[in-house]
Chain A
């Protein structure tokens, strides 16, 4: 429901909206991977280095 509302709020015709949505999803996915990576290194396993 929220996703549909956000999609409809995107500017332009349907095709542009789809392209924009795809770009946003890819960027969000990459950002999520960075967050997971940072969390993993900070909390679970930093690689075992001594410093």
Chain B
């Protein structure tokens, strides 16, 4: 009696081709759902957890770099201004620019602070380099551009939604907001002038400018790397401000 019941139930449990297809789709959906759930958890929490841990260590590294940075003075002439370095002209002192030694690649050398943004009130370490591995731990300074506080256009990139998302609230920045970057020379204060959205290939935003500028770039919109949110800020105070602005 029992054997008959079991043998009749076995094929029913295995099901026909339709049941098997439905079961396959069901299991695939469950595994896909778990995979995507894991992906979201990894991106939002795991990357941020490790980035915050690593960035705290990088801030310590940056502070050590501040103490050991080699600072030199170099003659500087504002583009377009008369050349006061002319040896024949002894009436005017030669303006000198403070220059720090180039930081080692991948190392933290600066701390960026934006008082109007909660995440960056206390600062976030900036490393030299914009490779994927560099940006996992801190914001990254584009090595082909001047260091913050120097004449030209210093470019720093950072994550918007993952790896600590240091630039998460960048859409809140408006002209007039203050950005501070601390380096071995001291604190360079910039003021936001403009915020724009461009394609990731628009490299003109990194081109050099007259005066001293800081360009911050991050992904846009949030949770997409389709575009870039770019913040242009101009130096308004700092160790080199008077020399650069005549």
Interface residues, chain A, with chain B CB atoms under 8 Å away: 32-33, 36-37, 39-51
Contact = CB atoms under 8 A, between A and B. Distances in A.
Categorize the interface residue count of chain B.
35 or more
A51 B203 CA distance: 6
B217 A45 contact: no
Nearest to A48: B218
Contacts of B162: 40, 44-45
A40 B223 CA distance: 9
A45 B206 CA distance: 20
B4 to A, nearest CB: 26
A49 B229 CA distance: 10
B47 A48 contact: no
Q: Which of A43, A48, A51 has the most CB of B within 10 A?
A: A48
B158 interface: yes
- Listed from nearest, the 7 A-B pairs whose CB atoms lie closest are A48-B218, A47-B135, A46-B225, A36-B42, A48-B157, A49-B157, A45-B162
Contacts of B224: 43-45
Interface in B47-86: 47
Max count, chain B CB within 10 A of own CB: residue among A33, A44, A49:
A49
A35 to B, nearest CB: 8
Contacts of B203: 50-51
Given A40-B162, A45-B224, A47-B159, 7 more contacts: A40-B39, A44-B224, A45-B165, A48-B219, A48-B228, A50-B155, A50-B205
A44 to B, nearest CB: 5
B132 A40 contact: no
Interface in B149-190: 155, 157-163, 165, 167
A43 B42 contact: no
B201 interface: yes
B202 interface: yes
B219 A45 contact: yes
> Counting chain A CB atoms within 10 Å of each CB, which of B43, B202, B206 scores highest?
B43
A9 to B, nearest CB: 19
Contacts of B43: 36, 40, 44-45
